Chains A and B, each alone.
Chain A
């Protein structure tokens, strides 16, 4: 054994940690090496002094520190996680429902009294919506971009449906399927809002419940991003948190209105 690894083991043993060497081998080396015996003695002495030594802080920093920190917001983490799952699950369901609508249109070419070609065009439109909702479920980070066109489409469907219902050109039962598009657009808006209102850099997608929990390394990596000096503290965090804490129904209505 050389003195370098012996001293590493001595150092660990002083601290009550695993020396990573068999104690017998270390003692054998110590018995034969006067330098390391002396070093062990000095290391003990140094340790005692380091543990007693300063620098010490005599003042109470609590008030000073509290004055410097932004007020903590109630952590809606549990809600946010539940909301995230509701959003992704809801979007998945909506995408499947929307896909079901496209089957008679695209494959059977049948839509009430419309011609086959018109049905195909409508089917393409409905398929695009279904895909947008599915993408929103798979990649929540994209929902802000998806929310606008889907919201516009849903708003158009609802507005024309109301107009045609009043004009007596259609019946409510036929138009009810547009509520799927409305629900999807509202979910996209809600999801985009939730992600945006997270603190900077924290737009972490809510994992599916069956996904593996993040490892320590991922956690550590996340911390590193948080700690990056160029990440500015979010000054206007308050309003967004309130949005995050809004009950789902209200947020969905809100989202629909935005669309």
Chain B
């Protein structure tokens, strides 16, 4: 977790008014914040949500204490920002990534190589499961840190990740059932 420690050190320095440290802090962390936002609320709004996350976090850097990892702190802010965004889109579209209104089919459609883009399927997950899955799989956080970001016990993360896997596997199966030829192609490719 050397990278996280480095980020926390940068946050500490930025807190004390070091402009270069602030720039390094943003530069070292925006990618993970962006990917988290993109997975939670869609790539089209991820730029704005990333900016808002930092806009909220930087003024409160003064209150940041080194006893928490700067990354989990940043991601928990991002989670709140994204939750606000999803709420403002309204309950009916809560569960969907609004960037893809042209995609009415809930089935997972494999591409030419037979691979279903997992990122596209994430949008159809329950938001809590999606957050747990993205934090642990896409960003590679340990369950304990994901729990800090989500403000829930580690056991809840464990079960949400498992449920997310169940849901995704079910979606992929449904897609493959609808496109049996593609499944064949993938099987032959991977074997």
Contacts and interface: CB of A to CB of B under 8 A. Distances in A.
Interface of A: 7-8, 10-12, 15, 17-18, 20, 39, 42-43, 46-47, 49-51, 53-57, 60-62, 64-66, 68-75, 77, 199, 202, 219-220, 222-224, 226-227, 229, 233-234, 237
Contacts of A18: 143, 154, 158
Contact of A69 (B54, B76, B173): B54
Interface in B127-162: 133, 136-138, 140, 142-143, 151, 154-155, 158-159, 161-162
B55 A17 contact: no
B22 interface: yes
Contacts of A46: 118, 165, 168-169, 172
B23 A47 contact: no
B50 A199 contact: no
A219 B166 contact: no
A226 B26 contact: no
Contact of A47 (B31, B60, B137): B137
List 5 tightest A-B contacts by C-beta distance, closest first: A74-B17, A11-B162, A8-B162, A68-B51, A227-B80
Contact of A42 (B26, B154, B172): B172
Given A62-B23, A62-B30, 8 more contacts: A8-B158, A8-B162, A51-B138, A55-B38, A69-B51, A72-B19, A75-B15, A219-B67
B89 interface: no
B136 A15 contact: yes
A213 to B, nearest CB: 9
A222 B63 contact: yes
Given A72-B22, A75-B61, A223-B73, A62 B27 contact: yes
Contacts of A50: 118, 133, 137-138, 168
Interface in B112-138: 115-119, 133, 136-138
Chain A contact surface mostly: helix
Nearest to A47: B137
A69 B119 contact: no
A199 B59 contact: yes
A235 B51 CA distance: 17
B56 interface: yes
B182 interface: no
Nearest to A43: B165
B155 A20 contact: yes
A69 B25 CA distance: 13
A110 B14 CA distance: 59
Contact of A72 (B51, B61, B68, B81): B61
Interface in B14-39: 14-17, 19, 22-23, 26-27, 30-31, 34-35, 38-39
